[in-house]
Structures are given as structure tokens and as C-alpha cells.
Amino acid sequence: MAVNKRTFDVVVVGAGGSGMRAALQLAEAGLKVAVLSKVFPTRSHTVAAQGGIAASLGNVNEDNWHWHMYDTVKGSDYLGDQDAIEFMCRAAPEVVYELEHYGMPFDRLDSGKIYQRPFGGHMQDYGKNPVQRACAAADRTGHALLHTLYQQNVKANTHFFIEWMALDLIRDEEGDVLGVTAMEIETGEVMLFQARATLLATGGAGRIFQSSTNAFINTGDGLGMAARAGIPLEDMEFFQFHPTGVYGAGVLITEGVRGEGGYLVNGQGERFMSNYAPNAMDLASRDVVSRAMTIEINEGRGCGPLGDHLMLKLDHLGDDVIKQRLPGIREIALKFAHVDPAKNPIPVVPTAHYMMGGIPTNYHGQVVAPYKTGPDEVVHGLYAVGECACVSVHGANRLGCNSLLDLLVFGREAGRQIIEDLKSNPHPKPLPGDAADRPLARLDRLENQKNGERVSGVGDAMRKTMQKHCGVFRFPDLLAEGVTQIKQIAERVAHTEIQDKSRVFNTARIEALELDNLIEVAQATMIAAEARKESRGAHARDDFQDRDDVNWLKHSLYFSEGSRLDYKPVRLKPLTVDSFPLKARVY
Amino acid sequence: MKFRIYRYNPEIDAAPRMQNYELNVEPTGKMLLDALVLLKEQDDSLSLRKSCREGVCGSDAMNINGRNGLACITPLSTLKEPVELRPLPGLPVIRDLIVDMTQFFKQYHSIKPYLINNDPPPETERVQSPAQRAHLNGLYECILCGCCTTACPSFWWNPDKFVGPAGLLQAYRFIADTRDQATSERLDDLEDPYRLFRCHTIMNCVDVCPKELNPTEAIGRIKDLMIKRMV
């Protein structure tokens, strides 16, 4: 089958916050850029982010990037790379002001400055008191951000390929990445996108879990592509469970509710966070709150007839605050929980939310992997940003509002780095003859599969296994069994069958291709979790309940081939300041 | 529950048809999208767009029992059976419930949907009072789902010339922003027998908007500004 080819300077895969921030940088530099997206850009999942963007503007209380950096290092349970964290926290005010200049409709203080609210784990004076650091547009910050970035890309004439799904990376014998193969969903046509730089910005993979805040599109496509091309995935065992997903529906309720003064209560009406985090209370970081909630439920203090959830109380905030600062939450509570939050509490439960791990990069967005000389060798031509990347700024647990910040800072920085790198790399390398072989073989397999299982059935099995075996608390027997099960499910994924073989907008085929990516992420997560014999951040083991800095202060690297694990050191040295020494983590 | 769903696959069907489906489902607490996901498990050729499943991405707009809406925030229990589902009206159908939104986005892009401010940016934020910022409420929240524009008879008649309610709501979003300096160019651009003035205040847009926004009011405000600058 002949496959057409198009050549660009840069191909960006994904048009969420990080992809569009990078694309803007690249388009403004006059490069020829193709931005591929499975969905129209404003439908990307950044749109669902609610609470805010962390930046030490100090518009309400005194604040500075050192405190923000400390909070992020502590929040990461010391697994975050301190060079990258310094880089991000220092750049935060600048990228927020930039966004404001782009037209972002931030809420305002009486002074006319950007409104900032408190958020979990963000404190003043190295962990002392909560600080108002989250720059917010009501509780629709992600929506406002994504639309603003799309608007700027319209202005910059960015070339979008909308409803194109990237299939696989093109890598030559020297290991250089030369572009991607992708399929136009409307026609089913496969095309080669040759590029001197390929930027993966494909977002998260929350859909590996049964109960998730994530959109249907969050299927870890970039991670699957990287894993199949021999690139490792870093720190995949660290998956964040957001404390407040709507019970039953899984839809996200922002931590901003607690930032505005809401709090959690158990079945006895008790504000239980005081027992777990006496200082920060409900604004402790997410791993801490989700564990506390799970303990309350497990010890019989949950709410409802089954005692399987807790209540988020915000009726005391008053109708005005709710309507002005939390209008989206009001909407979600009314629609998905059938409660008016001005009158009744919202039933919530910890829900899979964010992948701290991802494709390993340095703080310039360049993908790094062990090759010959060390663990952090640059993979030429490949970059990654946003949730699909592991810089690592979030380490073992991400702070709320640091992910929108991550998108902006590293989207911009990867753009800058690509512009720089392309200067010394003016000509595209020739594509290898087998550039389209892998995706064509995958499609061919699907086309000709007989007596295979339905994609939905195999996907359900995967999601149930992840939910049961790799949740908020992790048990050795469940993890070991989970590894066996997930490998068996991977075998089944290789034999799924679709009934619909048509070409035009075949969403059954898309879902089968997405499952190929999900199963890579699920395996990486389960296998890395089973192997890490300690508790750190979001990874909480029943048999190893403490953090073990002697043996486990290291990043994991999962290689798809042979399901192999390797490790590399954490970068404890910041760029200009002193390291934050390891401490017990108390909120 | 009984469903009647518009089916059209250009590779197979000479013309669109309605297909009946039955689903054994307890409607309480479920949204229409949940039912569609279950139907797709039965018949994987049934095609629709979906993503966030919470009413913020705008992917799953469709015509539900004769009215445009988002499947993900339409409770199943409110729907009369058989639930009749069709693609958004007034746009070319690609397949089943999936429409070609090119014309819709072309109109959105035509209003220059970005802040125009030619002053050099200050070192920090441009200030805006809470009252000034409040003018953007009810405007910036649009999710570009297309429910309003494809419910508008004026858009059905002149999709190439009339901007439509979604685009006009966004035109006013930038006019209303104190940081934007292009009000008069924006008004010039809309001063045309079709682009703005084909709105006949039928208000279907207001009726169907899943985010409860009011494009008709925004259009009225643009018209007021035009009259004001004439006198």
C-alpha cells in the first residue's frame, strides 16, 4: 500500500494546552508546523481543568517562587527533579502574565489584578500557612486557557490537522525520530508526516481506570507510540487519585471548592481531615487527602447506605460565592449528583485523575533515554510536553494547579528549544523504507482478525483490573496478581476484532487503536507499581508503608520490550539555589 | 428503552435511514451518552463524537427528540420514547450523528476570535476591574458545540453569509473586553446585510444552549452599539 508523505519543520501531536502553547511559539517563529489532533482543539481535555494555574504573583498574600518550589518538591515527595522544578516555578509568573496578555479572562481582585485562590499544598514561608497562589477564571480555568490558546493560534495561522490520529513514531536505525504516521479519521487515509522535530503533547491516560475524571480521548496515545518505538516510560507507578470525583459519575469537582472554604465530612458528620493533616486540613496535598478518605471508608465511616463515599460540604459558602467563584461546580453537582451545593453536600470519592509519569524529558522538553553513555541522552528529533511527559516536576504526587502551569512553561520552552535545535539541523533525514510498516501492520491485523474479542469487552477487563489491583492503596498479592492479569489482557488486546470495517469516520477502529496505547500504559503502571517496594506520594503500599530514600529515591524506567524495568537517579540539584534536603512529609 | 437513530454511511447507504434500537437499561441517574456507549457495544458501526462526558468540550452535540443538545448532560429519564436522535441540522452529514462543522468554524474564525491590543504589553497583567471582567460572563463560557447555530433558521438559509449565534456571541465577547482595542473594526466587519442583521430574534439559540448562554442578547448589544455610533 502506497502511503503519501508530507514534510514539515515540526509536527506537534496533540492540541491541548501544552501542544498549543508550543505550536504558538513555533508558528510565531515562522516555522512550518503541523498540529495533529484527534479532536477539534478546544475539545482537548485541558478544557476540563477547573481550579487554576499556580504562580507566585503575590496578588493577595506575600509569595515568591522559592516557596512555590519548596511546596512542589515536598508535594512530589522528593521524587521531582529539582532543576526542572526551579525552572518551572521561576517561569510561572511570566507565563501567566503572557496568557493574560493573550486575552485570558481571569477573574479579578478589586485592585484589577488577577484573582488568586488557595489550593492544596500551596503554602507560604516553606510550608507554614496556605497561600493564595492559584490564578483562576472562576472554576473554568482550563476552558478559558484552552480557548485563549486556540484563539492565539488562529491569529498566528497555525496549521491544524483536525481529527487526525497519530499512529506511530518514525525512527531510523540511529534512533533518531523523523516524524509520525497518522490517520485521517474522516477518510481512513494513512499518511507519513516527516519532520525535523516531533513534539508529543498527547495528554494523559486516565482511561486505563474504570473510574476516572478523564475524557474518553485520554488514552495515552503518545505513550503507546513511544513505548512501541523503544522509548522508556518514567515513574508510571505514580498515578494521582483526585479526592473529589462525583460519586458514581467520576466527574471532577475542583480542589478550588476546598480552596474557597469547602471541606470534607464523613458519615458521622465529622471534619475528618483534622485527624490526618492538622495544619493544612482539607488543603493537604491530594495523595494525603485521598488516602484519608479511603481509610475513612474502609473503617466504616463512609456516607450513604453502602458507606462507600464521603461528602463535600460547601453550603456554608453562600449562594453568591458559589455562583461567582464555582458556577461550573454548581452545574456539575446539579446535573451529575442531583444536589444544589448551596443547600446540600456533594457525594464524592477519590477518582483516578492524573499520571505523574510519562515520556522522560529534560526541562527543555527534549526526550531523554539511556543509550550508550548515561540515562539522560537526548533522543534526536523527539520532544514531549504536558501530561504525557515526565520532566519530572510532579515526582510522586502533583500539586493542584501545577499541571496547567506545566503545560504553559514546558510548552513554551519546548517550542524555544525546537527553534534552537532546528538551526543546526536544516535538512530532514531520509525516511527509512519501513517507516509505515508498523502502523500498516496494526491496521492490517485489525482488518483481517477473525473470531476476536470485542474492543469494549477487553477494555473493560483492563479497566477493572487496574481499578482493583492498582488503586489508592496497593497490596502485594493484588499487585502480583494484577501483573499476571494485565499481561494476559495484553494478549487479548492483540486479538481484538471490530465488526465495522468501513473507512469513513470509523470510530470502532479508532477505539481499537486507542486500546493498543492504553494497554502499554496499563502494563507500565502495574509492573512499575509492583516493583517499587516503598510508599511515596501517590504510591502507597500496604507492605512497605514508609518512604525508603536509601533504596528507592530513584526514577523508574519501563521498557515495553520484555516488560523490563530500569532506574535512574533523581536530580536533586536545582539550577541556582540550594537543594531542598529530604524531610518527612507532614501537612 | 427504545431508540430511533439516524444512520448514514456514505460507503454503504444510498440515502440516510432511521434505525431502531432497544436497550435494556435503567434510565435513572444515566445520561443519554451512557446509553449511546452501550448501544455502540452492541453495534460498533454506530458513530458519534464524544469526549469529556461532562458538558465542557462540546463534542457530542446532536438533535435529541427534535431539539439540539449535548448527549452527555441530557438525563435519559427525561426523554420520551422512542428517543429519536439525528445529527445537528443544517450541516453536511459525514456519517451517522457526525456532521461536518467546517462552515460553523469558518464563521467563528471570521469574527477574529482573539484579543486585539496593539499597546506593548506591560510587565505584569493588564488591569481590569471585577465589574469590567463581569461583562465577559455569559460570553466566554461558550464551548463551540454548535447547538445554537445549527438551530437557527437564518443560518440554515445563509450558512456562508450569516455568522450565526455562536460566532456573534464571541464577537461580542471581544467587544465587551476592556482590554480589546478593535471595537470599531469589529463593528465595521459586522455592518453588513447578512453577517449580523440576518438575526431575526427567533431565539432558538437561547432555547437550546446547553450552557444557558444568551446569544440573542449579545447580538442585541452589538446592534445597540452600531446605532449608538451612528447618532
pLDDT grade for B230, boundaries at 50, 70 and 90: confident
Q: For residues B177 and B180, what is the distance between their CA atoms, to the nearest angstrom? A: 5
A215 touches chain B (CB under 8 A): yes
What pLDDT score was predicted for residue B1?
96
Whether B94 sits inside 8 A of A505 (CB atoms) is yes
Which of A290, A275, A211 lies closest to A244, judged by CA?
A290
The domains located in chain B, with CATH, are 2-99 (3.10.20.30), 102-230 (1.10.1060.10)
Helix-helix angle B215-230:B165-175, to 10 degrees: 60
* Cβ pair A108, B130 in contact under 8 A: yes
What is the average pLDDT across B53-66? Answer: 98
How confident is the model over A203-221, as a mean pLDDT?
98
Average pLDDT of the segment spanning B193-210: 96
Q: Report the half-sphere exposure of A176 (CA within 13 A, side-chain side).
A: 14
pLDDT value, residue A2: 77
Average pLDDT over residues A4-12: 97
Q: Would you say residue A418 has pLDDT above 90?
A: yes
Cα separation of B150 and B155, whole Å?
Answer: 7
Smallest CA–CA distance, residue A405 to chain B, in Å, is: 16
**Tens digits of residue pLDDT in A516-572:** 999 999 999 999 999 999 999 999 999 999 999 999 999 999 999 999 999 999 999
What is the SS3 assignment for A100?
A: helix
The chain-wide mean pLDDT, for chain B, equals 97
Which spans in A376-500 are helix H?
402-423, 437-448, 455-469, 476-493
The continuous run of DSSP H or E covering A135 comes out as strand A129-135
Longest Cα–Cα distance of chain A, Å, equals 67
DSSP state of B176: T
Q: Could you tell me the pLDDT band of residue A361, with boundaries at 50, 70 and 90? A: very high
> How many residues belong to chain A?
587
Tens of pLDDT along A478-503? Answer: 999 999 999 999 999 999 999 999 99
In Å, how far is B231's CA from the nearest CA of chain A? Answer: 31
**A456: nearest CB among B41, B117, B180:** B41
d(CA A424, CA A158): 23
**Whole-number mean pLDDT of chain A?**
97
Q: In the structure grid, which three cell numbers stand for residue A512, read together?
A: 481499537
Dmax (CA) for chain B in angstroms is 63
For CA atoms A89, A91, A94, A97, give the dihedral sign.
negative
pLDDT category of residue B28 using cuts at 50, 70 and 90:
very high
B183 touches chain A (CB under 8 A): no
Contacts of A156 in chain B (CB under 8 A): none
Model-wide pTM > 0.95: yes
> CA B183 → CA A144, A340, A517, B116, B117, distances in Å?
21, 39, 47, 9, 11
What is the distance between the alpha carbons of residues A160 and A279, in angstroms, rounded to a whole number?
47
Beta bridge partners of B22: B2
- Of the pLDDT bands very low, low, confident and very high (cuts 50, 70, 90), residue A214 is very high
Residues 6+ apart with CB under 8 A from B72: B31, B32, B33, B50, B52, B53, B54, B55, B60
Q: Does A119 touch chain B (CB under 8 A)?
A: no
Cβ-based neighbours of A501, under 8 Å, separated by 6 or more: A447
Residue that is written with C-alpha cell 499520571 in the block: A355
Angstrom CA distances, A47 to A225, A337, A373, B144, stand at: 24, 21, 40, 12
Q: 3-state DSSP helix/strand/coil percent for chain B, to nearest 5?
A: 35, 15, 50
Closest CA to B93 of B142, B161, B150, B20: B150
Strand order in the sheet with A263-265: A239-246, A346-355, A310-313, A263-265
Residue A520 to residue A557: CA distance in whole angstroms? 13
- pLDDT (tens digit, 9 = 90+) per residue, A377-411? 999 999 999 999 999 999 999 999 999 999 999 99
Whether residue A333 lies within 8 A of chain B, CB to CB, comes out as no
Q: Which of residues 36-95 of B touch A (CB under 8 A)?
A: 40-41, 43-45, 47-59, 73, 75, 94-95
* Distance, CA of A86 to CA of A574 (rounded, Å): 6
Mean predicted confidence (pLDDT) in B58-76: 98
Give me the total of CB pairs closer than 8 Å, taking one residue from chain A and one from chain B.
151
Q: Quick check: A235 and A528 in contact, CB under 8 A?
A: yes
- Residues A122-178: tens digit of each pLDDT: 999 999 999 999 999 999 999 999 999 999 999 999 999 999 999 999 999 999 999
* Cell of residue A378, nine digits: 537526548
- pLDDT value of position A372: 85
Question: For residue A335, which amino acid is it?
Answer: K
Strand A33-37 relative to strand A159-162, pairing: parallel
Distant-in-sequence, close-in-space partners of B163: CB < 8 Å, separation ≥ 6: B107, B110, B111, B171, B190, B195, B196
Between CA A241 and CA A168 the distance in angstroms is: 29
**Cβ(B169)–Cβ(B139) below 8 Å:** yes
* B231 confidence band (pLDDT: 50, 70, 90): confident
Its ipTM equals 0.98
Q: pLDDT of A107-125, one tens digit each?
A: 999 999 999 999 999 999 9
Chain B environment of A215 (Cβ under 8 Å):
51-53, 57
Cα distance between residue A540 and residue A535, in whole Å: 4
> Rounded distance, CA B163 to CA A64, Å?
46
Q: Is A108 within 8 Å of B133 when comparing Cβ atoms?
A: yes
Residues of B within 8 A of A143 (CB-CB) are: 56, 141, 143
**Angle at CA of residue B172, ends B167 and B177, nearest 5°:** 130
> Quick one: pLDDT at residue A234?
98
Contact yes or no for A10/A415 (Cβ under 8 A)? no
For B187, which DSSP code? H
In the annotation, is A286 catalytic? yes
Instruction: Report the sign of the C-alpha dihedral through residues A25, A28, A33, A35, in that order.
Output: positive
- For residue B138, the chain A residues in CB contact (below 8 A) are none
Nearest residue of chain B to residue A215 (CA atoms): B52
Q: Decide if A478 contacts A469 (C-beta within 8 A).
A: yes
CA distance A43 to A125: 38
pLDDT, position A355: 98
**Helix A476-493 and helix A507-531, axial crossing angle in degrees, nearest 10:** 150
A8 strand-pairing partners: A195
Mean pLDDT of A170-193: 97
The candidate with the shortest Cα–Cα distance to A355, out of A403, A317, A312, A308, is A403
- DSSP per-residue codes, A222-273: HHHHHHHTT--EESTT-EEEEEEEETTT--B--THHHHTT-EEE-TTS--GG
Q: How far is A179 from chain B (nearest CA, A)?
A: 26
CA-CA-CA-CA dihedral for B171, B172, B174, B175, to nearest 10: 120
In this predicted structure, what is the pLDDT of residue A472?
A: 97
Residue-level pLDDT at B181: 98
Cell matching residue A16: 491541548
Residue A114: its chain B contacts at CB < 8 A?
125
Span A67-94, average pLDDT: 98
Taking residue A472's Cβ as centre, other Cβ atoms within 10 Å add up to 22
- Using an 8 Å Cβ cutoff, are B115 and A155 in contact? no
Q: In Å, how far is A479's CA from the nearest CA of chain B?
A: 29
Enter the C-alpha cell of residue A83: 532543576
Residue B150 has pLDDT above 70, yes or no: yes
Q: Which three cell numbers mark A57? A: 504573583
Asked whether the beta carbons of residue A152 and residue B11 sit closer than 8 angstroms, the reply is no
User: Cα separations (Å) of B221 from A68, B125, B146?
Assistant: 43, 28, 21
Is pLDDT at A428 greater than 70 in this prediction? yes
Q: Does the beta-carbon distance from A40 to B105 stay under 8 Å? A: yes
Residue at grid coordinates 481512513: A188
Asked if B135 reaches chain A (Cβ–Cβ under 8 Å), the answer is: no
B62 contacts B96 by C-beta, under 8 angstroms? no
Q: Which of A21, A196, A207, A286 is catalytic?
A: A286
Average the pLDDT over A25-36 and give the result: 97
CA A268 from centre of chain: 34
A138 and A12 Cβ atoms separated by less than 8 Å: no
Spatial CA neighbour of A183 closest among A445, A481, A507, A539 = A507
Instruction: Inform me whether the C-beta atom of residue A147 falls under 8 Å from chain B C-beta atoms.
Output: yes
Q: A1 pLDDT exceeds 70? A: no
Nearest to A220 by CA among A244, A236, A241, A243: A236
**Distance spanning both ends of chain B, measured CA to CA:** 59
| DSSP 3-state of A88 | helix
- From the CA of A206, how many Å to the nearest CA of chain B? 12
- Determine the distance from the C-alpha atom of residue B162 to the mean position of all C-alpha atoms in its chain, rounded to a whole number: 15
